[in-house]
Chains A and B, each alone.
Chain A
C-alpha cells in the first residue's frame, strides 16, 4: 500500500498562473483533507471532503477550489496563484466515517513557491 500520494513534490509558479495539486489514497478512506503549512503557523485546513461528492470549507479556503473526483482522489486547484500561497501543502485521509477520532494519514507534501 502506498498510503497517501501527492504530486508534484515541488512546483514553482509565477503570479497569476494556475495549477492543480493531486492527491490519492489507497486505504479506502472516506474523509480527505487539504492543509497548508507555513513556518510557525502549524497546519491550517483549506478544504475537506467527508465522502465522494461532498466538500466543505476549512479555515483558509480563499483562493482555492477542490474536487473529490472519486473515493480515492481529492485535488486542490489554485486558479490564479499569489505569492501568499507559497507554502507546503499536505493532503491527508482518514476513515471510515467522518469524525475527529480517526487518525489522519498524511501525504509527503507539495512544496509550492509563487514568484
Chain B
C-alpha cells in the first residue's frame, strides 16, 4: 500500500545551523503537503507542492518536490529556536480508494540549541 518514508527521525542543531528533512514515497504522488507540530500542539499546514520539480520558499524555509513526484524535502536555513517542533510530510494520491487521503510520514523532530 501507499507509504511515505521520512528521515531523519530526530535532528539536533545549534541555532544558526541549517536543517533538512526528506520524504520518499513508494508510489507517484499527486501532491505533497508539509505540516509543523509544536511540542504539545497539533499539526499546522505549512505548504503544498503539486508540480513536478516545484520549489517554494517561505522566508527561511525551502520546499522541493522531486521531478518524479516521489520525493520531497524541507530545508531550513539558519535555524532559530522558534523552528523547534516536528515536521511532517503528507502525500496525496487521488486514485480510487485513496481519494482524499493524505499519507503522513513519521515526522522529523527538530531540536534547536541556543
Contact = CB atoms under 8 A, between A and B. Distances in A.
Interface string A25-36: 000000100010
Nearest to A90: B42
B105 A42 contact: yes
A42 B90 CA distance: 10
A43 B43 contact: yes
Nearest to B102: A100
Interface stretch (A11-19, A61-69, A74-82, A101-109): A101-109
Interface residues of B, number: 27
Nearest to A105: B45
A106 B42 contact: yes
A103 B100 CA distance: 11
A98 B98 CA distance: 10
Contacts of A108: 41-42
B101 A103 contact: no
Contacts of A99: 92, 94, 99-100
A100 B43 contact: no
A103 B48 contact: yes
B73 interface: no
B104 interface: yes
B31 A100 contact: yes
Nearest to B109: A40
A100 B9 contact: no
B64 interface: no
Contact of B104 (A31, A40, A43): A43
7 contacts: A44-B104, A45-B102, A100-B93, A104-B90, A106-B42, A106-B43, A108-B41
Interface of A: 31, 35, 40-45, 48, 50, 58, 90, 94, 98-101, 103-109
